[in-house]
Structure 1
Amino acid sequence: MKKLLFALFILITFLVSQMKQPSIDKHSENNNESFIEVHHGELVFSCRSAGLENTGEAVILLHGFPETSHMWVDLLHQLSSRGYRVIAPNQRGYSPGARPGDIKEYSIKNIAEDVFALADAFDFEQFHLVGHDWGSAIGWAVVALQPEKVLSWTAMSVPHMKAFSYAYKYDKDQQERSKYIGFFKLPFIPELYFSWNKYSNLKNIWNKSSPEQKGIYLNVFQQRGALKAALNWYRANIGTTVEAEDQIAFDDVTVPSQLIWGNRDMALGRTGAELTGDYMKGPYRLIELDAGHWLIQESFPEVSSAIIEHIEKHTEIKNK
């Protein structure tokens, strides 16, 4: 009897451990695109990947609003050709299997925890991190929560969270640029606005994207609940009281970092970009480009070169 009870205990322990651990399930095809599906609790994330068979360091690429992991397709292959193992997830709300209904589920901390779960699923003990727009906000959280996991960090467009918070509160220029946020936080109205007339207002945002990319983006946002989930990032995090367990102390950063910012960005002004350096205690540089918000589409040669240079500078093992 004791042996039977012991065997049952071992079996239950194993099953529970498997339930808690994120795992890679399978490859899936969606609209002729290939994804790896990753389970994290009840959520299933669709991830683009490249070079997973390589032996080099890992790189995670985080998209923002209203884009998907497709924004990274060219950079994915550039990095993998240099020996890196690269993933670009469709983040919480953008993956069909990762759209919880509660607004609180879209806190920055929850989404940052998704990044750690994805890293664990791919056995990335450490990784280089790149983010744009909301992906940058999540990246700043990742760096704040577990800096020891991040080999290098590239933020695009969005400054350090304390720098943005200061500009949002005190800088008139940034306040003007951020007026759209109040609209995005309204219930159901922005969903109607963006989906009106076959999503014409959403398509207008993608004016720097190729027709192919616009179609891929639209395929995601036409899915049930996708637009609401993407807007919930604003509703959960800006001008909202964040619950104690979801609060993050965005302290000074020691991870080697760079901020790539376009001086014609319609949403993010100079004050936050220039203040970011005040919170950097490790290697840091600000790269100012004569570009707008959609940096990867507008200035791909300059952006990709800066990202690759930064990653290679802080690569600890020789990629093969």
Structure 2
Amino acid sequence: MAQRKKLSIGNLVFDCHFSGEETNEPIILLHGFPETSIMWTGLMDHLATMGFYCIAPDMRGYSQGACPRGVKNYAMEKLSADILNIADSLGLNKFHLIGHDWGAIIGWNIVYNNPEKIISWVALSVPHTKAFIKAYKTDPVQKKKSKYVKLFLLPFIPEYKIRKNDFKGFRWLWKNSSSEEVENYLSVFRRKSSLTATLNYYRANLGRKKMQPIGHIETPTLFIWGKKDLAVGEMAAKGNAKYMKGDYTFLELEGGHWLIQTNYDELQQAIEKHITKYSNT
């Protein structure tokens, strides 16, 4: 069973889930918005039975002890550095990486900028940044799906709307999550500082200061996308292949954005196959 522990990195303290033996080949799993590392625990426990060591942090802003104030503290450089620092603190020179939603965005950046550290890469729902931006600029479907981003860039208003009726909108997004997961999510988002911090991911990287562009990916990559995804359209998902220069697998599922809750069996099998294929053990 995944164990919850605190991990200190400089002056930040991250809440993390761990599963498996520390001597086994490592996998780091990155959650997205609006979720936490608890979303991964079932998959982590399965991968641990296969002989892997799994680590999933509640990322910057989500961990109460790693929630600095200010938009600038949520720039991509800092979000990526957190994950690399966590790996270094655990003595992980190389690791597999899995990310969903914002975890995928951060993962793409880590994989591109630190290919020597990544054994294999699995992105869920969100494609390579350039594939997404191209679709956002040219595809009417993607523009419609991404309308919420403009709201999130505003100060104060999105926080008010999200908290309305005891997080009614978020609860709808979490309708396929377990009651334990929902309670964990609410424990984070009910903290005003954390809600603002998690929205600062958008403000810091999609607002005035844009993320630095990334290039082609050579790391073995599995990209999994659901045809009914409410946030990412077909043009962005299928345009991902253009930026893959290494081994690449694209899996299209009959599902939406929250694939680990709705398409778990397919997801588990695909991830297991991919990681096993590129494992160094």
TM-score between the two structures when normalised by the length of structure 1: 0.85
Distance in 2 (CA, whole Å) between partners of 1:138 and 1:61 is 11
Q: Answer yes or no: is 1:44 the counterpart of 2:13.
A: yes
**Corresponding residue number in structure 1 for 2:175:** 207
**Corresponding residue number in structure 2 for 1:176:** 144
User: Which SS does the other structure have where 1:217 is aligned?
Assistant: helix
Unpaired runs of 5+ residues, structure 2, are: none
CA contact (8 A) 2:3 2:19 kept: no
**Corresponding residue number in structure 2 for 1:240:** 208
**Corresponding residue number in structure 1 for 2:257:** 293
1:97 shift after superposition: 0.6
**Corresponding residue number in structure 2 for 1:19:** none
Distance in 1 (CA, whole Å) between partners of 2:3 and 2:122 is 26
**Corresponding residue number in structure 2 for 1:226:** 194
Which of these residues, 67, 74, 86, is aligned with residue 35 of structure 2?
A: 67
**Corresponding residue number in structure 2 for 1:158:** 126
Distance in 2 (CA, whole Å) between partners of 1:44 and 1:92 is 9
Distance in 2 (CA, whole Å) between partners of 1:108 and 1:272 is 20
User: Which SS does the other structure have where 1:58 is aligned?
Assistant: strand
Aligned length: 280
User: Which SS does the other structure have where 2:245 is aligned?
Assistant: coil
1:35 shift after superposition: 2.3
1:169 shift after superposition: 1.0
Distance in 2 (CA, whole Å) between partners of 1:85 and 1:99 is 26
> How much is the aligned-residue C-alpha RMSD, in angstroms?
1.3
Which of these residues, 97, 100, 106, is aligned with residue 129 of structure 1?
A: 97
Which of these residues, 297, 303, 306, is aligned with residue 267 of structure 2?
A: 303
User: Which SS does the other structure have where 2:14 is aligned?
Assistant: strand
Give aligned-pair identity as a percent: 44
Distance in 2 (CA, whole Å) between partners of 1:158 and 1:241 is 20
For the pair shown, which has the larger CA radius of gyration, 1 or 2?
A: 1
CA contact (8 A) 1:56 1:85 kept: yes
CA contact (8 A) 1:51 1:86 kept: yes
CA contact (8 A) 1:69 1:89 kept: yes
**Corresponding residue number in structure 1 for 2:247:** 283
CA contact (8 A) 1:145 1:248 kept: no
Q: How does 1:188-207 map to 2 (within 5 A)?
A: 188-207=156-175
1:201 shift after superposition: 2.3
Q: Answer yes or no: is 1:120 the counterpart of 2:88.
A: yes
CA contact (8 A) 2:153 2:207 kept: no
1:34 shift after superposition: 4.7
Cα deviation digits, residues 182-220 of structure 1 (max 9, x gap)? 011111111111112222222122111122211111111
**Corresponding residue number in structure 1 for 2:227:** 263
Unpaired runs of 5+ residues, structure 1, are: 1-32
**Corresponding residue number in structure 2 for 1:80:** 48
